[in-house]
Structure 1
Amino acid sequence: MKKKVAFVCVHNSCRSQMAEAWAKHLGKDVLEAYSAGTSKYPEVKPKAVQVMEEVGIDMSKHYPKLLSDIPEKIDILITMGCGVVCPYIPCDYSEDWGLEDPSGGSIEEFRKTRDIIKEKVENLIERIKNKKI
Structure 2
Amino acid sequence: MDVQQIVNAVSQKAGLDQATTEKVVGTIFSVLEHEADGTSASSFFARIPGADALARQYDVMSGAPSQGGGFLSSLEGALGGVLGEKAGALINGFAALKASGLTMAQIQQAGQTLVQQAETAAGPGLTNRVLGSVPSLKSHLGLG
TM over 0.5: no
Q: Select the structure with the greater relative contact order (CA < 8 A; seq sep ≥ 6).
A: 2
TM-score, reference length from structure 2:
0.29
TM-score by structure 1 length? 0.30
